[in-house]
Every structure is written in C-alpha cells, then in structure tokens.
C-alpha cells in the first residue's frame, strides 16, 4: 500500500510540476553552458595587447604583450603570452594551462637566466603585472569554475542581458562572487562586477569594441577594469586578432617552445 | 546720560512685553538651533590641517601613489609566552582569516599568510609561511620560527625578537566621504577580537592603528559632550545657587546658557561645521564664559531687591548698570576666540567661532531674555539692611599692596620675567598617541605595543629612480640598500621596510636559497624578470602595489621609529635628508613624511600664527579699553596685566609639563579675552574713584578692591571650575587646553591683584609728586 501511495504522489508531482520550471541555479548554469557552447570551436587565435595602468593621481604606464591561445576539447584552454615592454622584461614568456577542475598550471620563462620557472599554482588571484586585472580575470572562464545563479533579464545601455551571479569554487579566488551580464542575443559578456571576499564591490570590467571573428566568435577589443576601492583602473586593448593562426599547434605549448617563444 | 537712558527704555520695554520677548527669543533660538541637525562628527585627523598644508599634500600624494594604509593593528600575546606553537599559530591563522571580513579591508598581514619565498629544485615557491598548521610537524614549526625571526619584513613588525608577541595588521581603504567608516571598522574589529578571544581565552589582545585612533578621537569627542556637558551644568547650578541663593536664578541662568549653546551649535550646523575633538568642547567653554553675564545681572538685581526695590525696577536698573561691562567683556572674549582663526585647521577655527557665537548669543540673551524671564518668574527676597560689601580680607589685601607696593612691584616683575623666560624652554611634542589619556584603551594598547613589539611612529619616503621601470636598476637598488642599512644603524629606529629587502630575498630564492645571493641582483634585466615572477606568484591582497608605484619608477620606504619626541624625529629626518643629499642621486631625494611630523610642523606654525593673531587681538582689545576707559595712559598700562599672565602660564607649563602640543598653542587666543575682563573691572573702578570721586591712588585701589574684588575672585573661581571640568576630558587636547587656561586665569587674578595695583600706585604717585612739585 505504502509504495502505491508513494507512486501516486510522485506521479502527481511529475504531472503538476511545470516542466519548464528551473531553479535559478539551474537556469544560471544553463545560460553559462549555452554561452560556452556559443563560443565553442574557435580553435585558436593570436593577438597583441596593450595594457594601460592608471593610478588615482592619473599617472599612467603601459605594458605590451602578444599571445597565442588555443582551445582544448574537454579541458581549459592553453595560452602563451610574451612580454614586449617594459624593455627589461622583453622576451619573458608565460604559459598557462587552464583546467576545468583543480588549479591551473603556469610557467614563466626568464630570458635573463634562460630558465623556465613554475609559478605557485594556488596564487592566481594576485594582480597581473601590477594592473587591476587579476590573473584569474584573464584566464579562460570555464563553466566548472563557478556555481551559477540566474538573477533576471536587465537592460544594459539598451542591450538586453542575462544577469548572472557566479560564485568561484576555488578557495584561492580573490572573489566571493562576480555578477556577469551576458548579451541575450549572442551570450557575449558585456559587463562583469567583482565582489571581494567580504562581499564588497571591488571592480567593474566593461567589454567594448566587439568584433566578430571567423564568422561567429565575438571578441572585445577593449576591456576596461575599474577598481572601486583603490581608484585605479586598467585599460586592455587588443589588436591584430587573428583566428585560425597556422603557427599555433600543440607544439606551441611545451616548456621547450616556451624558451623559444617570440 | 543718553545712552543709559536708551538702555533703560529698552529694559523697560522688555519687562513690559516679557511674553512677547520670551516667545520671540524662543522662535529665534529654535530656528538657529534647528541647524543642529546638520552637525556631524569628523574623525579624520586630516581636518586638523589646512587643505594646502604641504606636508599633508605630500602625505596624501604618497598614499595615492601606492595604497592608502589606514590600518587596524591587532596584537595577540599567548599566555604560554610562545608564539611558535601549533595552538597559537592555528589561532592566529583563524584570526587572520576572520580579519579579511573587516569592512573596507584590502589587505591582512600576519605570520600565517606571510609570503615566504623558498627554492625547491629549480623553482621558486612563494607560499604562506604558517598556514594549515594542524598538519605540520615539529620540525616544520621550528622552521617557521627560524624564518619568522630572521625575515626583516616580520621581525619587530609582526613578531617580536623573543617570539612572545605577534600581530595581525589589517589595512583598510576608507571611503573618502563616509564619516562613520572608522567607527564602523573600529566596532567590527573590536567585536571580531572579542569573539576570537572568547574562543581562545589563552591570549591577551591589544588593538591599535590609525583607524582605532580616528575612531577613538570621535568616541572621545562624543563622550566629552555626553559627560562633560552635564558635569558642567552641575557645576554651574552649584555656582549660581551659591552666589544667588535663589532657585529662580538658577532656572533663569540655565535657560540662558542652554539657549546660548543651542544657538551657537545650531548656527554651526547651518554653517556646515563638522565637529571634532577640540570643537566639541565649545559647549563647555560657552557655559564657562557665559555664566558670568547672568551672574552679574542677577546678583545686582537681587542686591537691589534686598534693599527694597521692586523686582521689575531692580532688573531694569541691573541691566542699566551692567550693560557696558557685560558688553565690553563679551566683545573682548569674542575677539580673543576669533583669533583662533589664525591657527591652522578647521577644529580650532570652529572652536573659536562656535564659542564666539555662543558668547555673543549669551550677551544678547542675558540682556533680552533674562529680564523677560525674571519678570515672569517669582523671586522672593528678604529685605535686609546690607552691610555694604565690605570684605575684611580684601581690605587687608588692599592695605598690604598699598604699603608694600614697591617690593611687590620688584618681586612680581622679577617673577614674571623669570617664569616667562622658562616659557621659551617648552619643547614641541606631538606624539599623537599622547593626545589620549592613559585611561583610553587605544592609548594603553598602543603603549603596550610600542613597548613590546614595534614602534607606532613612522617616517615614510617615496624614493625615485628617475625613470620608468628604473627600480630594477642595480645602482638604484644598491643605493636603496645603503639607505636601508644607514637607517637600521640609527638608534631611534625599530624597523625599516624597503623594497631592496624584497629583491634580496627573491634573488636568494632564485639561486637555491644561497645566502651568498642574499643581495640585490647585479643585472637590471634579471632584477626586472625576478620581480615579474615574484609578483605573478603573489596571492590576492598581498601584492606589491603598496610598495611600488604604477610605472615602477619609485618605491616606498617606511621607517618605524621608537617612541621619540617630535624634536628627535625632526632631527632624524634632517639627518636622513642630508644622507640622501650627500650619497644618493638627485632623483632619489625625498622629504620624510609622517603624521607625527605633520602635527609638529603645524604646532610650530600655529605658535607663530597665534602669536601674530594674539598681537592683533591685543591691539584691538587695547583700543577698546582706551575707548572704554577713556584714557590712553590706562589703556597702555592695561597691556601689562593682559600680556603677562599667558607668558607666566607657559612658564609654569614648562615646570609641570614641559611640552607644547597643538592644543595648547590656541590657549593664547582663548585666554586673552578672558584675562582682560579682570583688568577692565579693576581699572574702570580705579579710574572712576580717581576721576569722579577724586580719591588718592591709594584710596582708589581700596575702592576698586572693595567694589569689584569679590566679583573678580568669584568669576575666577567659576572659570577655573569650568576649565577644570574640561581637564577631566580623556582627550589630551581638551584637558591640556583646560589646564593651561585655568593656570592662565589664576595667574591673571594674582597679577591683577598684586602687579596691577603696584603698577598703578608707582605711576600715579610719581605723577602726583611731579604735579605737586610743579
């Protein structure tokens, strides 16, 4: 008898629960997955970038790099970044393997001593080259690195966006949460707001100058990070973005090639 | 006299239209007082400085260039006496983790998360020194101890040399315009530490830091308002009752005082004043100064009533008699307090202006509201034949002065000159921790910390390399190294935090932790690339942005000092500047910046500007006296008893304290207006006796003593009592101000009763002789 009642109750629940109803968490995860899917298959690209650092007094300084990026099926992406300026670090190269689960791997090649050094993996939330970008802001944003929560649809500068809250899973993350605004039409990020470990608003990242590459992949050519707490900001401009760069292969990402990287 | 008639008519009108006057006064006071809702507390020490103060600009520029480093400094002392046990280190890590939740915190530095660099194989590891302690072996604990007591970045800063005391430094970035932020942080930190301490009772805790200082400033200012003002009211009640023996008088004068304060504070609110430690003492000062007006008016009225005059006539007559002296003493007091505008920093301007407004309000209310109230309230007086105010003691004093005026003159001139000379020997001191009384937790905690762990006073430099990315230049790094060693060799120095230390440490770790490489790299590219690697290895919140500027052309250099005086600090800074001039390239030169030095500089400038302002006020007051006394000669004579009390008081200050801070410099202006009052009363009576009653100088002195001697002594007692209330403040600024003012007022009384009559007798007797000889 008991089991029959259970079955009936369960059946009733199934019948009367609207199939579309998702928890905000499920919906958030779904949207993030769709966003990842929309960008899936980009393969590889290379680009150069100029980072402009500005402090509270308005003093600025620039850092130039160029990099090679490759999509990895089933795991996080690989990247190789070579520093062009400041002069003293010219030729210094960093290689990163992002992972969906666990810590990323990162190496740095120092031309002055001709050595490759591994970087402490747990410390990825520090500032990148003294900028307002943390390393974790620049590495690939894997869905698995966060818990997601859908908040709602909002209009941002006339663009309808999904508003999502994401909670980093790694304990070493510098953030308690990030709020991401994804364009409803094409899932590209328009704005991300970062909250520090005590849940105070820390930084806002705004994406602009979007361009479509290889027919379907949106890339922002400008990213502006404003730190609300210290008044500093960093502007990151990309150029020479080239998709399907034949020079990028699996071989690009070895410690030996890191030493030869140009 | 036409003027007297006018005042009499006015007083009659007030008494007749008492209800209308009362209502009008209430409406006026309420509308002024309603500005009180705009009053806020400002607890940022910046407010003590003018906006264009060069030291403050340099300090703020430094903070903008790197990071703002307001902090809360939590010190924990294990009762076991050993920091390097599993229990202690685990508890410290827990506190460090909790501290990241402090509002506005940007960085937490502790033993647990110190970024220790070491080489493993060919790699450099940058990791927490003492986290995840539960799983560490005894040898690992020993390793942590060795490192902690060796690292220059930790020793004498985060842990003491004996390994018995350790600290957690929480850096906060307070929002610019939130007045409550320091209070919020302070409250949070206190709760945090209490909670932690409850869980770990085997520790003693101490809290210091800039945020705690700012918060304590605000707390004490508010505390002063809460405790001193009621205490002051009590004192006033007592004084009024003792002098008038009338409940209605008590009520009337309380009403006048309360309204005066309300008007002044309300107007301050309308003007957008932000209250601070010094300006929060304004209500106490207003009460002290304003009560005299009421007392004069009420006492005269009651005397007249005792002689049988009806109440309403008596009050009109009292207003007529007292109008001029009350007016003039109010004006001089106002002028004195307005000189505070010559001092630097809004707190003293505000104190001066609010008090001046309060004194002005008290004058008007005493002349307008008080008679109306008296007319309304019942006053019962027993009519009795009064023995006309003869006080045997004052007679004796008068006779003594008259008979011994020559020796008195000689002795008091010598004493005045001698003691005044000592005033020059006062040393400047602005150890801001000492602005707080020892009973304030911030003070006692800070004292403990400076005795047992590290210094509280800093000296900061931003040392330039002359070019972008120049900080990796070996020549720059070597110079930095030398400067660091030079400072470390100075006996006044506890700790030096220099970027060269980071480079030495990283260089060693890049060479297999070889101590031979514990020196700055010899090659610029190497240095730059090592730095890049190191920076990329640092975790959230522990970056080098607090030490390196944005284009890597300058680094921050912080020296922690022992508990030395401002003068020693100034001397050390000068020595360091000389070292930089002699040894370092021009681009590296920087002035030493420190909050303690900032306070010292403004004490110096305040002293100068208060002297100038005081001189101006003195000239103005003397002109008023010349006009009021209608005599150039007596106006000039009055200068002496007006100037000397403050000089003597500073001399006495040298004997009992010996150190001058910002607060006591403003006493100069404050007391000027008060001191003058006694002189005015004595001189005006003396002159009246000479001119109108044709008395000899001796008899004129006796007359002056008999008529106003008692009043002068009573008001001095009232004022001294009032400023003694201020002495009870836990806020060193206010208690010092109260102390020195009280000293000045008592000295003024003594000089007015001895030096002034001796002076008058000497001059007037010589003149009489000359006249007689002619």
B771's CB contacts (< 8 A; 6+ apart) are none
What is the distance, to the nearest Å, from the Cα of residue B231 to the centroid of all Cα atoms in its chain?
21
Q: Which of residues 500-519 of B touch A (CB under 8 A)?
A: 510
Q: Across the strands, what pairs with B74?
A: B168, B207
Say which CATH number the domain at A220 has: 2.50.20.10
Work out the end-to-end distance of chain A between its first and last CA atoms, rounded to an integer number of angstroms.
75
Please report whether residue A133 resides in a domain. yes
- Indicate the SS3 state at residue B405: helix
Range B616-623 average pLDDT: 84
Residue with tokens 């302070």: B186
> In which element (H, E) is residue A240 found?
strand A233-243
pLDDT for residue B2 is more than 60: no
Domain count, chain A: 1
DSSP code of residue B155: B
Task: Say whether A110 and B543 touch across the interface (CB within 8 A).
Answer: no
A49: containing domain: 21-260
Q: Return the number of CB contacts < 8 Å for A and B.
A: 132
CA dist list (Å): B660 to B200, B423, B651, B655 = 43, 10, 11, 12
Strands (E) located in B314-467? 427-428, 457-464
CA dist list (Å): B586 to A121, B62, B489, B503 = 41, 18, 23, 23
Residue with tokens 């005086």: B565
Banded pLDDT at B201 (limits 50, 70, 90)? very high
Closest CA to B469 of A143, A197, A236, A62: A62
Task: Say whether A120 and B544 touch across the interface (CB within 8 A).
Answer: no
Q: From the CA of A98, how many Å to the nearest CA of chain B?
A: 16
**Quick one: pLDDT at residue B390?**
56
- Residue with the bigger pLDDT between A160 and B329: it is A160
Other C-beta atoms closer than 10 Å to the C-beta of A261 total 21
Banded pLDDT at B388 (limits 50, 70, 90)? low
B545 touches chain A (CB under 8 A): yes
Residue with tokens 């209502």: B23
Please report whether residue A2 resides in a domain. no
Q: Which two tokens stand for residue B149?
A: 């007591």
**Quick one: pLDDT at residue A4?**
60
**Quick one: pLDDT at residue A104?**
82
**Quick one: pLDDT at residue B202?**
94
Please report whether residue A157 resides in a domain. yes
Please report whether residue A15 resides in a domain. no
Total residues found in chain B within this entry: 774
pLDDT for residue A18 is more than 70: no
Please report whether residue A54 resides in a domain. yes
Banded pLDDT at A85 (limits 50, 70, 90)? confident
**Quick one: pLDDT at residue B1?**
45
**Quick one: pLDDT at residue B158?**
92
pTM: 0.80
d(CA B169, CA B188): 14
Mutation target among A65, A105, A116, A123 for the B interface, most CBs of B within 10 A: A123
- By Cβ distance, the residue of A112, A122, A174 closest to B529 is A112
pLDDT for residue B372 is more than 80: yes
Helices B474-488 and B524-536: crossing angle in degrees, nearest 10, is 70
Other C-beta atoms closer than 10 Å to the C-beta of B123 total 17
> In which element (H, E) is residue B103 found?
none
Range B457-486 average pLDDT: 91
Q: Which residues of B touch A230 (CB under 8 A)?
A: 67-68, 106, 173, 545
- Residue with the bigger pLDDT between B269 and B325: it is B269
Q: Across the strands, what pairs with A96?
A: A79, A106
Cβ contact B207:B189 at 8 Å: yes
Task: Say whether B550 and A60 touch across the interface (CB within 8 A).
Answer: yes
- For the ranges B165-174, B678-687, B762-771, the lowest mean pLDDT is seen at B762-771
d(CA A208, CA B25): 64
Q: Which two tokens stand for residue B516?
A: 């031979």
d(CA B124, CA B225): 58
d(CA A51, CA A46): 16
Cβ contact B317:B18 at 8 Å: no
Helices B697-727 and B282-306: crossing angle in degrees, nearest 10, is 140
Please report whether residue A56 resides in a domain. yes
Banded pLDDT at A8 (limits 50, 70, 90)? low
Mutation target among A130, A175, A227, A231 for the B interface, most CBs of B within 10 A: A130
Closest CA to B300 of B394, B393, B386: B386
- For every residue of B433-478, DSSP letters joined together read GGGB-TTSHHHHHHHHHHHHT--SEEEEEEEE-SSTTGGG-HHHHH
Range B637-650 average pLDDT: 90
Cβ contact A76:A140 at 8 Å: yes
Q: Which residues of A touch B545 (CB under 8 A)?
A: 127, 130, 230
Mutation target among B124, B499, B540 for the A interface, most CBs of A within 10 A: B540
Q: Which residues of A touch B127 (CB under 8 A)?
A: 120, 122-123
Please report whether residue A8 resides in a domain. no
pLDDT for residue B123 is more than 60: yes
Where are the alpha helices (H) located in B151-209, listed in sequence order?
181-199
Q: Which residues of A touch B101 (CB under 8 A)?
A: 197-198
**Quick one: pLDDT at residue B448?**
93
Please report whether residue A11 resides in a domain. no
pLDDT for residue A64 is more than 90: yes
Task: Say whether A117 and B533 touch across the interface (CB within 8 A).
Answer: yes
Q: From the CA of A192, how many Å to the nearest CA of chain B?
A: 18
Task: Say whether A172 and B540 touch across the interface (CB within 8 A).
Answer: yes
Cis peptide upstream of residue A86 (ω within 30 degrees of 0) = yes
- In this prediction, the answer to ipTM > 0.90 reads no
């Amino acid at each position: 008898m008991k089991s029959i009642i259970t079955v009936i109750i369960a059946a009733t629940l199934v019948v009367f629960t609207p199939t579309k109803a998702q928890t905000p968490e499920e919906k958030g995860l779904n949207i993030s997955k769709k966003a990842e899917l929309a960008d899936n298959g980009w393969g590889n690209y290379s680009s150069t970038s100029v980072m402009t650092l500005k402090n509270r007094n308005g003093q600025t300084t620039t850092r130039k790099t160029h990099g090679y990026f490759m999509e990895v099926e089933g795991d996080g992406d690989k990247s190789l970044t070579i520093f062009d300026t400041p002069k003293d670090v010219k030729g210094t190269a960093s290689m990163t393997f992002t992972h969906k689960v666990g810590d990323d791997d990162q190496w740095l090649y120092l031309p002055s001593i001709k050595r490759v050094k591994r970087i402490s993996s747990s410390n990825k939330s520090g500032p990148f080259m003294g900028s307002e970008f943390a390393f974790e802001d620049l590495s690939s944003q894997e869905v698995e690195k966060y818990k997601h929560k859908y908040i709602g649809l909002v209009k941002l500068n006339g663009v309808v966006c999904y508003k999502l809250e994401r909670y980093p899973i790694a304990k070493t993350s510098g953030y308690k949460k990030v709020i991401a605004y994804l364009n409803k039409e094409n899932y590209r990020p328009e704005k991300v707001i970062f909250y520090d470990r005590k849940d105070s608003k820390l930084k806002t990242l705004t994406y602009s100058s979007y361009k479509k590459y290889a027919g379907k992949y949106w890339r922002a050519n400008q990213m502006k990070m404003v730190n609300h707490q210290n008044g500093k900001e960093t502007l990151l401009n990309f150029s020479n973005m080239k998709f399907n760069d034949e020079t990028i292969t699996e071989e690009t990402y070895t410690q030996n090639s890191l030493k030869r990287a140009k | 006299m036409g003027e007297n008639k006018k005042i009499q008519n006015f007083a009659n009108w007030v008494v007749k239209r008492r209800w209308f006057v009362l209502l009008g006064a209430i409406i006026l006071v309420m509308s002024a007082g309603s500005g009180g809702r705009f009053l806020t507390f400002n607890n940022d020490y910046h407010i003590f400085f003018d906006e264009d103060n060069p030291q403050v600009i340099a300090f703020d520029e430094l903070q903008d260039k790197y990071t703002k480093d307001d902090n809360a400094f939590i010190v924990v002392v294990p009762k076991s006496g050993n920091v390097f046990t599993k229990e202690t280190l685990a508890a410290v890590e827990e506190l460090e983790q909790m501290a990241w939740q402090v509002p506005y915190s940007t960085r937490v530095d502790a033993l647990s998360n110190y970024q220790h660099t070491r080489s493993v194989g060919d790699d450099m590891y940058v990791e927490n020194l003492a986290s995840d302690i539960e799983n560490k072996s005894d040898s690992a604990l020993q390793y942590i101890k060795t490192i902690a007591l060796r690292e220059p970045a930790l020793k004498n800063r985060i842990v003491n040399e004996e390994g018995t005391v350790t600290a957690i430094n929480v850096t906060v970035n307070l929002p610019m315009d939130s007045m409550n932020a320091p209070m919020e942080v302070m409250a949070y930190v206190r709760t945090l530490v209490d909670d932690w301490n409850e869980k770990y009772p085997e520790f003693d805790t101490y809290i210091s830091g800039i945020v705690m200082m700012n918060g304590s400033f605000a707390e004490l200012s508010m505390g002063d308002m809460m405790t001193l003002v009621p205490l002051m009211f009590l004192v006033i009640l007592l004084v009024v009752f003792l002098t008038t023996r009338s409940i209605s008088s008590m009520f009337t004068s309380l009403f006048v005082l309360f309204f005066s304060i309300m008007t002044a504070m309300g107007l301050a609110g309308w003007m957008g004043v932000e209250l601070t430690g010094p300006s929060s003492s304004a209500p106490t000062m207003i009460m002290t100064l304003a009560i005299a007006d009421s007392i004069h008016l009420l006492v005269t009225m009651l005397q007249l009533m005792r002689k049988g005059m009806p109440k309403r006539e008596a009050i009109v007559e009292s207003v007529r008699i007292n109008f001029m002296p009350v007016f003039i003493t109010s004006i001089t007091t106002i002028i004195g307090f307005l000189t505070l505008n010559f001092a630097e920093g809004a707190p003293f301007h505000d104190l001066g202006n609010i008090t001046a407004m309060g004194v002005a309000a008290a004058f008007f209310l005493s002349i307008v509201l008080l008679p109306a109230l008296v007319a309304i309230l019942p006053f019962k007086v027993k009519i009795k034949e009064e023995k006309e105010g003869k006080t045997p003691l004052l007679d004796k004093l008068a006779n003594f002065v008259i008979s011994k005026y020559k020796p008195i003159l000689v002795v008091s001139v010598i004493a005045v000159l001698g003691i005044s000379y000592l005033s020059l020997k006062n040393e400047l001191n602005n150890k801001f921790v000492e602005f707080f009384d020892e009973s304030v937790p911030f003070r006692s905690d800070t004292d403990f910390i400076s005795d047992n762990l590290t210094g509280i006073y800093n000296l900061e430099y931003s040392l330039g390399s002359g070019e972008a990315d120049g900080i990796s230049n070996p020549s720059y790094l070597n110079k930095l190294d030398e400067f660091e060693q030079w400072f470390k060799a100075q006996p006044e120095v506890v700790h030096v935090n220099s970027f060269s230390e980071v480079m030495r440490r990283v260089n060693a770790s890049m060479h297999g932790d070889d101590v031979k490489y514990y020196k700055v790299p010899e090659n610029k590219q190497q240095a730059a690339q090592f730095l890049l690697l190191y920076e990329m290895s640092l975790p959230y919140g522990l970056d080098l942005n607090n030490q390196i500027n944005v284009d890597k052309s300058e680094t921050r250099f912080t020296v922690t000092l022992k508990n030395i005086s401002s003068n020693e600090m100034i001397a050390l800074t000068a020595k360091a500047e000389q070292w930089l001039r002699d040894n370092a390239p021009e681009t590296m030169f920087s002035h030493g910046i420190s909050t303690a030095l900032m306070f010292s500089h403004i004490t110096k400038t305040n002293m100068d500007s208060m002297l100038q302002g005081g001189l101006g006020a003195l000239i103005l007051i003397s002109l008023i006296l010349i006009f009021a006394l209608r005599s150039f000669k007596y106006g000039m004579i009055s200068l002496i008893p007006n100037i000397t009390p403050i000089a003597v008081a500073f001399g006495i200050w040298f004997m009992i304290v010996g150190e001058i801070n910002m607060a006591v410099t403003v006493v100069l202006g404050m007391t000027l207006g008060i001191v003058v009052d006694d002189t005015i009363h004595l001189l005006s009576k003396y002159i009246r006796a000479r001119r109108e009653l044709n008395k000899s100088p001796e008899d004129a002195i006796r007359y002056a003593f008999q008529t106003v001697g008692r009043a002068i002594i009573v008001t001095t007692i009232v004022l001294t009592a009032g400023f003694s209330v201020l002495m009870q403040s836990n806020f060193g600024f206010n208690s010092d101000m109260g102390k020195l003012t009280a000293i000045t007022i008592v000295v003024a009384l003594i000089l007015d009763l001895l030096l002034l009559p001796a002076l008058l007798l000497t001059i007037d007797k010589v003149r009489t002789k000359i006249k007689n000889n002619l």
